[in-house]
Chain A
Amino acid sequence: MKLNAPNLDVDALIRDRSITIIVCTGAGGVGKTTTAAALALRAAEQGRDVCVLTIDPAKRLAQAMGLSVLDNTPRLVAGVCGPAGTGSLHAMMLDMKRTFDEVVEGNADPERAQAILDNPFYQALSSSFAGTQEYMAMEKLGQLRATASAEGSWDLIVVDTPPSRSALDFLDAPERLGSFLDGRFIRILTAPARGAGRGIGKLAAFSFGVFTNVLNKILGSQVLGDVGSFVAAIDTTFGGFRERADATYKLLQDSGTSFIVIAAPERDALREAAFFVERLKTDAMPLAGLVLNRVQGGGEIDLSAEQATASAERLEKMGEDERLTAALLRLHANRQSIHSRQLHLAERFTAAHPGVAATIVPALAQDVHDLAGLREIGDLLAKKPDPPTRSR
């Protein structure tokens, strides 16, 4: 299988010691978590000390890495080591509420921290705010990175991204949460007397008054009060949320970070991947390349779908004895045409983004259940493209 794109050399990437963060991203359902885990395992077995941060792994994949508890702490994966005893793999699952709580506890004195943790608005925000998961994934990445530089516990962090409706959410959500909490409206809301008197026009002040009344009415009066006391409390304890988000964002622009965009060979997933690639470029974030995941096998032999179908038709007319071969040819034609269509879709992507390196991972018949399965994916990720098919 070969794409009209430069080859994404996964082994070169994971061996490059200047790369300390690899972010795996892509649309939902394309195999981000599995790819992240396979990359992390491969890097560890090549001698890196790796920590993989997964967001929401399937139960069996989590078990494969020995993750039975969600305790928000990296755990050593048993049975993984590289050449001559070097290399190790830690794995963890993100607990977004726990991470948020830790941010609060780490930045406020115990009394104030408790007040924040008890605030009903904080509780809603930390457990279900759209974007908190993305924000906390970034926060955790920042923490892991800090631990890594302080203790030297690992030299490569592989991050899986949350199953958002859009891959871009991972980049946008922290900023959105940050600007929400630092936003003008929330400022006005938490200091109504000052805000209403100054800075905003009369109509705005009037609308604002009506609106807060309505919000109080529809949400119940305690909600805005909770928001106000939450914002006041976090403000005095640890500066602007936006600054924190900005700091992590900068980390993603660092040359030690590398993004891998994962896509299935389908229109929607490839469109997401294209958006993401363009966005990384705009924001000067380093892209390693595209993993085209779960591609139907094909192209191993020089027998086109059309040729196979024509031969099958001929054999079917010849009678009973030729049925098996005819069926095999039809099967081959079917595989081949799905394979070609998928590559064709992928080539639309590579044509639009010619510089982007890519690698193809063929679809496996079964899901990954153990480290052996992850190793197999790792091998496929790192496989060099086939030489051009030998002509007859």
Chain B
Amino acid sequence: MNSDVKTIFSSYHNNAQLFDEVFDSNGVAKNVYQKLLDLYGNHSIQEYVQLNNKAKASFFNQGITFQVYDNKVTQEKIFPFDLFPRIIDEDEWEIIEKGAIQRSKALNLFLWDIYHDKKIIKDGIVPLDLITSSANYLHQMIGVDPPGGIYNHISGTDIIKHSDGNYYVLEDNIRCPSGVSYVICNRTALKRALFGVFNHYKTHSVTNYAENLLEILESVKPKGVDVPNCVVLTPGMYNSAFYEHSYLAKAMGVELVEGRDLFVENDFVYMKTIRGPIKVDVIYRRVDDLFMDPLEFKPESALGVPGLFAAYRKGNVCLANAPGTGVADDKAIYTYMPQIIKYYLDETPILNNVHTYHCSRPDELKYVLEHIHELVIKPVDEAGGYGISIGNRLTKDEIKVVQEEIKQNPRKYIAQPIMSLSVHPTYIDDSESFEQRHVDLRTFTLLGHEKEFVLKGGLSRVALKRGNLIVNSSQGGGSKDTWVLKK
């Protein structure tokens, strides 16, 4: 290597306080990354910038964008993509994969129970209030048997690697988890930009997601159907994930439909086509529960299909994920995951939960009040990051305010230790160099009738602002291609 040329990692600042996935505290690259660093090290930063710009352009050209609603102006943006991939070796991946399947299965059994006998509540393990107070709990699902016995066909589990080197689950997304199309696009973009690097690693493919999704959907076909007709139901082109809906439909080779393309007759669902109606058996729906059927749920919904829920209750069509599944991806339910796994599977959790203190329990409340500076305080009933206090960012006065709020209404709050996410070298436009940035991982798990699948890869989301722990795309996060290595 010519030492006069500024190579891409020459000014990388390795903060030993942070858990860097690539370099150890002495700045030595971990084994699995060594080859990659050699390969990337051959490039100057200028060459890298050019490649990076090309990759960006290819996202725009393919229309892989999402909508940002800001100042009443809708903007098309690409999800910032980083060309330096994240590598997960086979041993670590095995833990993640087994852990993700364990959680999906436990959640599925939990959902069956909640909508049937509610044994876990009667046995005093999960409080009744937690279920009945959830906006995603649907009384209409009580006693309904979803085809194949599956509720959460598609789960997106958000995982972080902590500074202790272990993986922790942050949340289970089992309503309409999105992001899988980015996983596939990131791989494509990286292959286009730097095909050669793939020759040196045995990386699992991610393009088999769609065929597995189709198999999962077909496995939960309604009774009496031989070859099921599956479709993807989208809210339409103005939805922020429309690209993903169209991608998945195309990759599975099935129709992409909107509510107005479907109708219900005698409790069967049909798709309007120029050759007349065609019966639909399985719907991968990316429309929220309450917008699915204006006759059963929100009457003002223009996205749904009148009579769809009646067809579902009759068992004539399968909806993936099942209506009412969201009751199990509640923040408060998350805290019971270890007990839920134990209760239904009689196993210990393979992936850790972040330890949670319930302020409703007096001894835990005492601990929380005394340790606010090292905890994250979250209200149990709000979503989207509202009302969260991060203890080490608060002034003394602010801590007092939070203490008072918790004392006033302990039932409303939970607290968790501040988790230190691992960091990964990420190219930063402003400084034209690689810097450490926090990263998480969304995995995609599929559950069908006697079939399960975890995508070997995932969406590694990067917080592009320095020190930021929030990686959501709406918060200006980016993403990386994520390689899972073969044995």
Physical interaction between A and B: no
Q: Which of B's residues lie within 8 Å of A, judged by CB?
A: none
Q: Which of A's residues lie within 8 Å of B, judged by CB?
A: none
